[in-house]
Structure 1
Amino acid sequence: MGDQSRMTLFWTPLRWCRGVLLAALLLATPAWSADILLTAVQDSAGVQAFTQALAQQRPGDQITFTPLKDLPAPSRLPVSTRLILLDLPGLDWRLQDAQGPPTLVLRISRLQARQRMGNTHPAKISLLWSDPPLERQLHLIASILPQARRIGVLYGADSEFLLRELMQFAKPMGLEIVPQRWNNTNDSRALQTLFKNSDVLLGLDDPQLYNPKTAKNLLLSSYAQQLPLVGPNAGFVRAGSLASTYSDQPDWLAVLDRLLDHAPANWPQTLYPEHFKVVGNPQVARSLGIEQVDEAAVAARLAEGEKRP
């Protein structure tokens, strides 16, 4: 038998063994192993729709959703996993283990992060903020209410830390922040004091202040004083505030698509979605004698302003 034939006989079994070994390793891989792994407490229709949309957007990636209860400790996930957390229980689970994989936390507010992490920022965790950027909200006010100069801001113990940043953004815009602490949401005196000294009210995304229980009092007082409320989010605009900026599912998918194209080492610690929209409430605008917000035009104008240095 020639040398070539002997080599063929030698390599064929070796290749077969390697193939069997590779197949065994693949079969032994846990069900929760994935390149891009999404998790949340509830496997809801919305979560499934988001996962499917991301998979369609990135057909070359392996994208899996696994309920939080079915996952091991974060440190037991493969190091190659890129983890996407869709709710706060997922973040609480992730924070228990410093050795977990690179993680993107989707739709978390500044207040929620501060309540869980204080001023610290664990390694390998990137926070994608859900609350509208304060600077963007101020530019929205300047765009739709150009005569407004005194920006009234209700705050509480949880949201007080945002005031300094808000004032820093307002100063170069020629705007004055008029802060008013609201300790007792059943007492309207703080509202009345603030309304007398403000041209517009900017809502912070603080659920202690802006929630279904306080909405009626806030909005009725706003109408009574003919003082527009901007923000704190798209949901409150539907309830009766004038306008807000917000990011929807396509905007979040665009952010994820861009981040997942980069190595996790290059992910930012925190990030606001670059893409956003504006929502206005025409009925509120009419009741306040204000021109209806042209949502698309205002959003385009704000986005163009953010692109300029």
Structure 2
Amino acid sequence: MAANHSATWRNCPWLHTALLVLCLLHTPVRAAELVLSSAGDTSSLQGFGSALAAARAQDRVRIVPLNDLPPLNQMPADTRLILFGQSALAWRLSAEQGPPTLVLQVSKTQARATFGDRAPSNLSVLWSDAAPLRQLRLAKHLQPHIGRIGVLHDADSAFMLDEIRHAAAALDLEIVAEDWPNTRDNRPLLHLLQHSDILLGLADDDLYNPQTAKNLLLTSYAQQRAMIGPGAGFVRAGSLASAYSDQNDWLETLNTLLDQPPQGWPSGSYSKTFKVLGNSQVARALAVDLPSDEDLARRIAEGETP
């Protein structure tokens, strides 16, 4: 009988693979140390940290103020740094050596201003911007007749035009770009409104902020032009609609990345999931048929690459 078992083992190499898989399935996953940090008061991270700990019971989650963190080159190899904000990103770049790091609450323009053209190693930035392709799909869904998308930019956000044009080409849309170096001068804005069908707002704090919002929106609507984006805050101020990601979306994206080896993390990425917020009052004023936020998000998500 023993001889028969031995022959079966030699003649069935798939048994080796099956047993190896079973062993791997029963091997405990090594816990990682997830350290959340930001500059200044970290109390705002408590809710995020608690939700992350609940989602990743196998890991240890701690919140540590930036000033209390040890030198980067002294952190254990199993540490995963999760930083929030541009100041924390700048701190991480102060040393080349350090643990794998994920950075949230930083826009593409802020990231560019912090590390320029170079792509830091061992670092992944989860951009707070809404993905341009999502915003353009949202614009075309709400106003199917549009063909020309107006984009205001300055020297700090001009680099985003290549990505936006690429996204627009996939939807057979044309990007009409206008430099706006001085937000007190309305001529670039008026010129753009005359040569585009709808405006796409960018996550550029120099152009889109509480001080410029009133002028941007009132001037746009005086020309019967809607604005998409740049985020949920601007929708509340008076833009037509925008995609955005909340804490649950970022937790889902973060959880997916933490399940992967850090070597596979992208240098930068948008949230994998998102929501949509529309402004019904603005939609009525512009005679735009505005579905529910949930329906809009579902329709825009359809066809996205998993």
Alignment check: 8 A CA contact 2:42 2:64 kept: no
Aligned residue in 2 for 1:276 = 274
Alignment check: 8 A CA contact 1:282 1:293 kept: no
Cα displacement string for residues 59-87 of structure 1 (whole angstroms, at most 9, x for unaligned residues): 22110000011112211111210110012
Residues 126-165 of structure 1 correspond to what in structure 2 (within 5 A)? 126-165=124-163
Name the SS for the 1:78 alignment partner: coil
Cα displacement string for residues 138-195 of structure 1 (whole angstroms, at most 9, x for unaligned residues): 1111111111111111110111111122112212312111111111101111111111
Residues 175-190 of structure 1 correspond to what in structure 2 (within 5 A)? 175-190=173-188
Aligned residue in 1 for 2:244 = 246
For 1:279 and 1:262, locate their aligned partners in 2 and report how far apart those are by CA, in whole Å: 31
Name the SS for the 1:161 alignment partner: helix
2:197 is aligned with 1:199: yes
Q: Which amino acid aligns with 1:303?
A: A
Residues 40-189 of structure 1 correspond to what in structure 2 (within 5 A)? 40-189=38-187
Q: Which amino acid aligns with 1:113?
A: A
Deviation at 1:111, TM superposition (A): 0.6
Name the SS for the 2:149 alignment partner: strand
Correspondence for 2:262 among 250, 261, 264: 264
Alignment check: 8 A CA contact 1:154 1:203 kept: yes
Deviation at 1:243, TM superposition (A): 0.4
Alignment check: 8 A CA contact 2:86 2:105 kept: no
List gaps (5 residues or longer) in structure 2. Answer: 1-31
Alignment check: 8 A CA contact 2:37 2:84 kept: yes
Aligned length: 275
For 2:278 and 2:53, locate their aligned partners in 1 and report how far apart those are by CA, in whole Å: 32
Aligned residue in 1 for 2:17 = none
List gaps (5 residues or longer) in structure 1. Answer: 1-33
Alignment check: 8 A CA contact 2:37 2:66 kept: yes
Structure index of larger Rg: 1
Aligned residue in 2 for 1:301 = 299
| Cα-Cα RMSD | 1.3
For 1:261 and 1:280, locate their aligned partners in 2 and report how far apart those are by CA, in whole Å: 33
Residues 12-23 of structure 1 correspond to what in structure 2 (within 5 A)? none
Q: Which amino acid aligns with 1:252?
A: W
For 1:140 and 1:169, locate their aligned partners in 2 and report how far apart those are by CA, in whole Å: 12
For 1:268 and 1:162, locate their aligned partners in 2 and report how far apart those are by CA, in whole Å: 18
Deviation at 1:44, TM superposition (A): 4.2
For 1:260 and 1:163, locate their aligned partners in 2 and report how far apart those are by CA, in whole Å: 31
Q: Which amino acid aligns with 2:275?
A: K
Aligned residue in 1 for 2:13 = none
Query: Alignment identity in percent?
Result: 51
Deviation at 1:43, TM superposition (A): 3.4
Alignment check: 8 A CA contact 2:86 2:114 kept: no
2:275 is aligned with 1:287: no
